[in-house]
Chain A
Amino acid sequence: MWNSSVVPLGDCALTVDVPDAGGDSSQDRIRCLAERIVADAPAGVTALVPAIRTLTVHYDPAQTTFRTLCDYLITSLLSLRVVAAPVRAPIVIPVVYGGESGPDLEYVAAVHQSTPDAIIAAHTAADYSVAMIGFLPGFPYLHGLDAALHTPRRAEPRTAVPAGSVGIGGSSTGVYPFASPGGWHLIGRTPLRLFDARRSYPSLLSAGDRVRFTAISTSQFRELLERR
């Protein structure tokens, strides 16, 4: 079934739209397509960027053409065997919620006419999946946030969010791997390093991973921070 489109993204990349199809989720189709491209290693492909419903393919026009890649991608999608991602244990992210680490926890509770404890309970109860990595090295866009926690982004983004901050932005939750400006509401902070360029696989999370959060105390946070 062909219901994807391929559009140029400048002269060195193209974007394939990969919606849900034939009972397969967009996320599974994107993952399988990316795996197939890596295995086939077509000439001139320089990078693959999976996103929420698209796969962007970067290429070198001195080594291939747009037409060649289009034909290859269409053929690959038509014959793609989509297999569900292997079910793996979720990666658990320890978080100290509230206080200095989560300055917006009280605000988020107030918006939802709830209490900080109830917000923490809801945030740690859910099972999340990594929809994509983007914005910063290792920054996960997590799906699965309890609808009762959806909170519009801050009107004024903060100019500096500390590394490890756990935030809620609209219907997403995520973790800032590096200190950066940010518009999400900060409810806690993890001592884990989400991205470390010195590791052979530098990112803690990849698209498709499952994630859970667990609450820890400030002293456990300090202990984990020292041990990392």
Chain B
Amino acid sequence: MSIVIRQAGILTTVQDLGRLGWQHLGVPVGGVMDAVAHRIANLCVGNAEHDATLECTFGAVAVQFEAPALVALAGREVTASLDGAAVPAWRPILVKPGALLAIHTGCRTTIAIAGGIHVPTVLDARSTLLRAGFGGFEGRALRRDDRLAIGEPAPLGGAIAARLDAENRVIGDFSAGWSLRPDYTASPTVRMIEGPEHRSLTAASRHALHDATFRLAPDSDRMGFRLTGQTLALSSELEMLSSGVTAGTIQLPPGGAPIVLMSDRQTTGGYPRLGDVITVDLPLLAQLRPGDAVRFQLTDLDAAHELYRRRERDLSSARRALYMRYAQELS
């Protein structure tokens, strides 16, 4: 079974949860920008969490299916249609052979397909690393007429599709992880933990970081989000050595406009580190469009870990609940 890209949009790539374990060789983690959207979409089609999906930036994407398939969309403000009829995000959708799925608008929309996008594994992952030109589909962004193979659906995906088919429905009557959906907005407040150089900010800049509204600059990309609206300053110049960075690290380059590191970030950086956006709030950031507003609120490590563990428990419960729902077919 394969799919054909009929319209590629401005940036559509094959992504999964990235390659954590090669950072000592300078390999960026990469992977989806919004891991929660990816995980829930995969769950809706019965996939494993790490199965590869498509990540579409904004909209104007169309995908044609050569065989029946089970599909789910996830992201912020997704509008989509199947052969012209509107379809919702966050639910399984049964697609007939020849059908055309179109994403009209969105931010970073995940398209999960039961069985996952079947591209070769490179360094333990299927995500596309654009800067190094490997992973995903030929190491590059998708183009019109690209044909991608889809893997064999898992038993859960098969059961979801079979029941939809038996009931003569297109759209599933459940949405996995309803309570897990990030509370996307065009002006989120994200929580952050102080970084080592936070204390070196001037008092005014410290105040500005936690009080002002920043806007996402147009030259932001999968590597980093550039913020405008306030420039920040350190009370003295610091001698910095390159050291590890992570998803959500807020760096302060010499110009004073902060950058938040995102999925395709480098593994190490030499700019002052003001703090790190907590993991559970990264999806809110990932789904911003240029011009959207963001504020930063301080929290602490214990609170961040509590939220992280709660989210992992909720995702596990959602998966268990889905298996229960299809226990009959799966037994």
Contact = CB atoms under 8 A, between A and B. Distances in A.
B62 interface: no
A25 B97 CA distance: 63
Contacts of A66: 301, 305
A178 B248 contact: no
Interface in B284-323: 301, 304-305, 308-309, 312
Interface string A39-82: 00000001111111111101001100110000000000000000
Interface string A2-32: 0000011111110100000000000000000
B16 interface: no
A203 to B, nearest CB: 4
Contacts of A138: 25-26
A197 B24 contact: no
A10 B246 contact: yes
Interface residues on A, range: 35 or more
Given A54-B244, A61-B309, A195 B133 contact: no
A136 B26 contact: yes
Interface residues of B, number: 43
Contact of B279 (A10, A52, A180, A203): A10
Given A11-B276, A134-B268, A46 B305 contact: no
A152 to B, nearest CB: 14
A119 B122 CA distance: 39
Given A9-B245, A61-B309, A195-B132, A48 B26 contact: no
B247 interface: yes
Interface string B213-231: 0000000000000000000
A195 B23 contact: no
Given A49-B267, A51-B268, A135 B243 contact: no
A10 B276 contact: yes
Contacts of B196: 7, 15
B289 to A, nearest CB: 24
B179 to A, nearest CB: 18
Interface in A153-210: 177-178, 180, 195, 197-198, 202-203, 206-207
A13 B20 contact: no
Interface of A: 7-13, 15, 34, 46-56, 58, 61-62, 65-66, 132-139, 141, 177-178, 180, 195, 197-198, 202-203, 206-207
Interface of B: 20-28, 122-123, 129, 131-135, 193, 195-196, 241-249, 266-268, 273, 276-279, 301, 304-305, 308-309, 312
